[in-house]
Amino acid sequence: MSVQVVVGAQWGDEGKGKIVDLLSQEVDVVARYQGGANAGHTIVFGNTKVVLHLIPSGILHPNVQCVIGNGTVIDPVALMDEISMLEGMGISTAGRLHISHKAHLIMPYHKMLDAAREKGAGIGTTGRGIGPAYFDKATRSGIRIVDLLDRETFEAKLRANIEEKDRYLQAMYGSAPIDVEAILDEYLTFDKKIDPYITDTTSLLNDALAAGKVVLAEGAQGALLDLDHGTYPFVTSSNPTSGGACTGLGIPPTSVNSILGVVKAYSTRVGNGPFPTELDNELGERLRTEGHEFGATTGRNRRCGWLDIPALKYSIMVNGISEIALTKMDVLGIFDEIRICTAYTIDGRPAKYFPADGRTLESVECQYATLPGWNQPLDGIRRFEDLPEAARQYIETLERLLERPVTWISTSPAREDTFRR
């Protein structure tokens, strides 16, 4: 049995989609195990840029089967738009895209609740209804794709949910009543469109593994946004860490034999929450501009800062990361010198562990090492030996500090400028 898990090792936006796209050339199945349409995976090949939110990046390769697992939450509108976009590009999804019948659905009232709560909470969510959908899942009131198969079951659950949500939204936010009939018609129409894609993906994946197939499991967001292990409460509503792959797909832990952590050569974060190495100055703005650091899903500015080794060590520990794919090395080519946070101190004393509470993490003092920059573009470089000496030194420093090999390196946004070392 062979499963490779690809995780974002920071706060998301590390370039996982690009790495999964490249690795897909060598696997049989690519499976998405958590999250919803609040994530965006951007792949650039030639003059074409594709942004995927739900469908795994492996769909761009005609011989790869793609799975959206039970751990995801599915927005019907976003899913159908994505399928239509791919079909319009001549990329067929028929017979290749498989969606778990156990996946939960995002309903219109989830988006309403998300937007209303965000005004007060300030977590920094995308407003796509992800959190409220997972909330219903946890309280056993969620609606799954399998519920669409029986109109009576679906209608009963829908009416019960809307009755509850309606009371809350009207009392708390003065919202207009929800139109039950319109939602009922919309989702039953969606059921007819999605029916060819629905399957028991748990059995499909385990059958594939039993047959000796290679499965690549991809998460959304990053490990530091994990609901249990991230910088709570400024986190996502699911588990993008490697452990989430087993529960989100229904595969055994014994099937996982490799965990690749995708690391951006600097740090970024979207939304609120502690960010120890943030550069809230001209340097941060240069990083944002050079790296085009704007959210693929929302277009929001990403906060930018230097690479954070303590946070990465924590991520490596929690995920069991065995090797690293380093992305966006080219962005650092504009600096005369580059800094790396090598350790935290708290009240003047070295921090032994990555802080669990946000207030402590916000108060840490970062200890930095300064390395020379290379002051040149890296486009077209596809061998480690051809990188400028300062770029090689930067990578080797990361390997020494993280005690993990950097096996993939990206030197431009183009697909062909990412190479295996």
Catalytically active residues are: 13, 41
Q: Which helix (H) or strand (E) holds 228?
A: none
CB contact set of 195 (below 8 Å; sequence gap of 6+): none
**Two structure tokens written together for 379:** 């486009």
Residue linked to tokens 């769909």: 59
Pull the structure tokens for residue 209: 């593994």
What is the spatial distance between Cα 274 and Cα 278, in angstroms, rounded to a whole number? Answer: 9
The CA distances from residue 293 to 10, 71, 128, 148, in Å, are 15, 28, 20, 39
- Burial class from Cβ neighbours inside 10 Å (0-12, 13-18, 19+) for residue 132 reads buried
317-320 contacts at long range (C-beta below 8 A, 24 or more positions apart): 318/223, 318/226, 318/229, 318/241, 318/242, 319/5, 319/7, 319/9, 319/223, 319/241, 319/242, 319/243, 319/259, 319/261, 320/242, 320/259
Which secondary-structure segment (H or E) carries 165? helix 151-173
